[in-house]
Structure 1
Amino acid sequence: MKLKLILTSVSMFLVLSLHAQETNAPKFGKGLFNLVGKDSTFSMKIGARMQFLTISQWNSNKDGLYNPEASSLVRRARLKFDGFAYTPKLKYKLELGLSNRDISGASEFTHNSPRYILDAVLKWNFHGNFVLWLGQTKLPGNRERVISSGNLQQVDRSLVNSRFNIDRDMGVQLRHHFKLSDKFIVKEMFAISQGEGRNVTTGNLGGHQYTSRIEFLPFGNFASKGDYSGSDLKFEEDAKLAIGITYDLNNNAVKNRSNQGSYMRNDVGFYETNISTWFIDAMYKHKGFSLMAEYASRDAKDPFAKNSDGSLTGDIVQVGNGLNLQTGYLVSKTVELSGRYTSIQLDENITGKGSEKQYTLGLSKYILGHKLKIQSDVSYLDVVGKANNLMVRFQVDIHF
């Protein structure tokens, strides 16, 4: 019922806005339309995007492939609204997720309701190069997570991201940048958030989460913010490099993957422990070639969740590290070959889980850049102590 109400309201808004709009619609991929107030005190760009995904996979051993599975789904379906209010120095972004994968994860802390809101954030450039963010949005964590799912080089993000990312949360962020020389740019980011992920509505358990990130761009900015976009679709004439370092501390965390994963319950409520996460990443692009590298590491003050009497609950913080190396080359302006190597090393003595290694080859056809593309990839997952896995994926991505 709530979804129907949201879709009806959005549809009515779109119809009325289109009727009121006097300018022509934007080009494909630039939003459904742009609104600007007559007195220039506000603007709003409205866009939509969808991803249609098909997956086939098999377990494998020395005798061959077995246990085949196949599925098709709407991987993502989203509405996006962004612009400025009152002054161009006060920007906003609202993004709603409509697919099951977008809105899953309801709990008593989200009132057992679908989690429609992905981003709802204000960005205030209050002085010079200082920008204050307020609301729910992605934390300044690993580069691959901050890259939009619509701008990925392969069908989806790596296992390093799925195991270690710190995703979205509610809080405040302070961002700043300065130049060391004519080209050398340094960007600083700091965030304080609730520490339990997005759409929590019933208060805050445990402590808070503190995230700091610094980035170095020695050769200047990438074209079209390419340091946060997969593939070198702009064919950078001069080599561009971005290096980022993030440290995240979730004080008295109550989830087993910092602000992600499952809650660690015990006999008096919730087990709390400090969880720290490091990310080191880099993006390099030059003339159609791209290379992205990421290292992640998570540790905890005491990873074993306990009851008040010291007995173990069975919940364990997922401590360990991961490495992801990904590269691609555009053999033409619209066709790209890519490869990825991912290694996950959770602490086996703590988590009881063995190492994982995944090898991925991808092929992408960019009809209109990331706004309209067809992607496919083949992955082989080697897991210690478990059946290996072969996976083939095919995805169509469209952005209005």
Structure 2
Amino acid sequence: MTTKILLNAVKLVFLCVITTSSAQEINTGKFGSGLFNLKGKDSSFTMKIGLRFQTLANFNWDIDNGLSNPNSSFLIRRSRLKFDGFAFSPKLKYKLELGLSNRDQSGISQFTSNAPRYVMDAVLKWNFAGNFVLWFGQTKLPGNRERVISSGDLQQVDRSLLNSRFNIDRDIGIQLRHRFNLTDTFLIKEIFSISQGEGRNVTTGNVGGYQYTTRIEFFPFGNFTSKGDYKGSDLKFEKKPKLSVGVSYDFNNNAVRNRSNQGAYMLNDTGFYSTNISTLFIDAMYKHKGFSFMGEYANRNAQDAIAKNSDGTLTGDIVQVGNGLNLQTGYLFSKTVELSARYTNVTLNKNITGKGAENQYTLGISKYIAGHKLKVQSDISYTDIGFKTNKLLYRLQVDIHF
């Protein structure tokens, strides 16, 4: 029923676009710049409507004295409908992004009213004074760089193991953003966020405490071209070296999920088990003449990582505490072909989680037909897992953006 409602809503949007053409200017640009670009005749609003999806093929094997237990899958990894522009004034921008694939909508639970999680982003951005911008709504928190990079702008098929274990993803709240120049070329950006602390599309209220996130970024050689500090690969072939170094600290007060605002809810005999969880990210992005390098470090700690009942007995739930390191590089041999490599280490606290270290080695190749808007990407990964069978993974993905 809910799927039919969403499809009808999408149809209604396009019907409105067609039937209201007399009241607005409708412009279409080059491929990848949006399906429709609307502008009110009085210039009181704009709206860009975009659509993208990724088709992915996975092939994986266990490595135990040879290749065994082969498995394969084909899926629509992501499918998104996006709207953005400004309302009333260019100083008030907005973004709405809907997830249409099954993977986008996963996470149905009593905390999301047992309904698919269609809404990815729904955020207003108000430039209320100078270089100060206030964000209000649901969007990505200012956590690790790799997570904030759009899934459509990645250098490889998908994000790393560090991201899957430690990222703080999206949440609902407010963010205050500011930027200033220390010198003519040295740029600094700051972000402070207060959010609900339980992830996106939670409708039952704030079960634990609030989540506080702060981030600062340093650009000693100035800003990147076309927001390249949050895009994989140096497709703009930066003529001069560009570097961004970022530090994020996240504190989730009385968190009730085992990965801060992500993962499973922790339950005990009185309801929810809660504990303070802190996460630190240090990352960097460097680009110059087709060469790119990204490095990330993550650390998660908890005040008491082992969930307990009121009488002190263990529930079996555990906060996923530990460290992660991700190093990734790529080089464009032409404007359309790139080789990339990645090394990722995830080391959870073995005394608490009972899990050892994971090391993943990935080699990728990308063909950019129209930059990130139309590309074919492939990679192969070997994962050395200390506590279970090692894995070999091959992936092939086509990504298209309108």
Question: 1:58 offset after TM fit, Å?
Answer: 0.1
Match for residue 255 of structure 1?
Answer: 257
Change (3 A) 1:22 1:43: closer
Question: 1:385 offset after TM fit, Å?
Answer: 2.4
Question: 1:16 offset after TM fit, Å?
Answer: 3.2
CA deviation profile, 1:290-346 (whole Å, cap 9, x unmatched): 000000000000000011111110100000000000000001110000000000000
Q: Distance in 2 between matches of 1:180 and 1:260?
A: 36
Match for residue 360 of structure 1?
Answer: 362
Q: Distance in 2 between matches of 1:172 and 1:46?
A: 25
Change (3 A) 1:186 1:315: same
| Deviates further, 19-28 or 284-293 | 19-28
Match for residue 40 of structure 1?
Answer: 43
- Aligned pairs for 1:191-270 within 5 A: 191-270=193-272
Q: Helix, strand or coil for the counterpart of 1:114?
A: coil
Q: Which runs of 5+ in 2 are unaligned?
A: none
Percentage identity across paired residues of the two chains? 72
The partner residue of 1:346 within 342, 345, 348 is 348
Q: Distance in 1 between matches of 2:27 and 2:114?
A: 42
Matched positions, count: 399
Q: Helix, strand or coil for the counterpart of 1:349?
A: helix
Match for residue 283 of structure 2?
Answer: 281
Question: 1:145 offset after TM fit, Å?
Answer: 0.1
Q: Helix, strand or coil for the counterpart of 2:155?
A: coil
Match for residue 151 of structure 1?
Answer: 153
Does 1:50 find its partner at 2:58? no
Say if 2:27 and 2:37, in contact at 8 Å, map to a contact too: no
The partner residue of 1:117 within 76, 97, 119 is 119
Question: 1:22 offset after TM fit, Å?
Answer: 4.5
Does 1:94 find its partner at 2:96? yes
The partner residue of 1:295 within 297, 301, 315 is 297
Say if 2:172 and 2:200, in contact at 8 Å, map to a contact too: yes
CA deviation profile, 1:10-69 (whole Å, cap 9, x unmatched): 2232133135165442211000011011111111000000000000000002x2100000
Q: Distance in 2 between matches of 1:129 and 1:267?
A: 49
Q: Helix, strand or coil for the counterpart of 2:232?
A: coil
Q: Distance in 1 between matches of 2:16 and 2:304?
A: 56
Change (3 A) 1:24 1:130: closer
Match for residue 13 of structure 1?
Answer: 13
Q: Distance in 1 between matches of 2:274 and 2:8?
A: 42
Question: 1:193 offset after TM fit, Å?
Answer: 0.4
Q: Distance in 2 between matches of 1:245 and 1:124?
A: 24
Match for residue 184 of structure 1?
Answer: 186
Q: Distance in 2 between matches of 1:206 and 1:121?
A: 23
Amino acid at match of 2:2: K
Q: Distance in 1 between matches of 2:333 and 2:18?
A: 40
| Deviates further, 22-31 or 210-219 | 22-31
Q: Distance in 2 between matches of 1:256 and 1:23?
A: 47
TM-score by length of 1: 0.99
Amino acid at match of 1:81: F
Q: Distance in 2 between matches of 1:84 and 1:384?
A: 50
Q: Helix, strand or coil for the counterpart of 2:103?
A: helix
Say if 2:25 and 2:40, in contact at 8 Å, map to a contact too: no
Amino acid at match of 1:41: S
The partner residue of 2:68 within 51, 66, 69 is 66
Q: Distance in 2 between matches of 1:186 and 1:310?
A: 47
Match for residue 139 of structure 2?
Answer: 137
TM-score by length of 2: 0.98
Q: Distance in 2 between matches of 1:341 and 1:122?
A: 36
Q: Helix, strand or coil for the counterpart of 2:76?
A: strand
Q: Distance in 1 between matches of 2:25 and 2:141?
A: 38
Say if 2:209 and 2:255, in contact at 8 Å, map to a contact too: yes
Match for residue 371 of structure 1?
Answer: 373
Say if 2:25 and 2:38, in contact at 8 Å, map to a contact too: no
Q: Distance in 2 between matches of 1:24 and 1:308?
A: 62
Amino acid at match of 2:262: Q
CA deviation profile, 1:150-180 (whole Å, cap 9, x unmatched): 0000000000000000000000000000000
- Aligned pairs for 1:285-324 within 5 A: 285-324=287-326
Q: Distance in 1 between matches of 2:143 and 2:221?
A: 22
Say if 2:27 and 2:38, in contact at 8 Å, map to a contact too: no
Q: Distance in 2 between matches of 1:312 and 1:16?
A: 56
Q: Which runs of 5+ in 1 are unaligned?
A: none
Q: Distance in 1 between matches of 2:12 and 2:199?
A: 31
Amino acid at match of 1:177: R
CA RMSD of aligned residues (A): 0.8
Q: Distance in 2 between matches of 1:22 and 1:222?
A: 32
Say if 2:25 and 2:41, in contact at 8 Å, map to a contact too: no
CA deviation profile, 1:60-110 (whole Å, cap 9, x unmatched): 02x210000000000000100000000000000000001000001011010
Amino acid at match of 1:92: Y
Match for residue 34 of structure 2?
Answer: 31
Q: Distance in 1 between matches of 2:288 and 2:115?
A: 45
Q: Distance in 1 between matches of 2:26 and 2:78?
A: 30
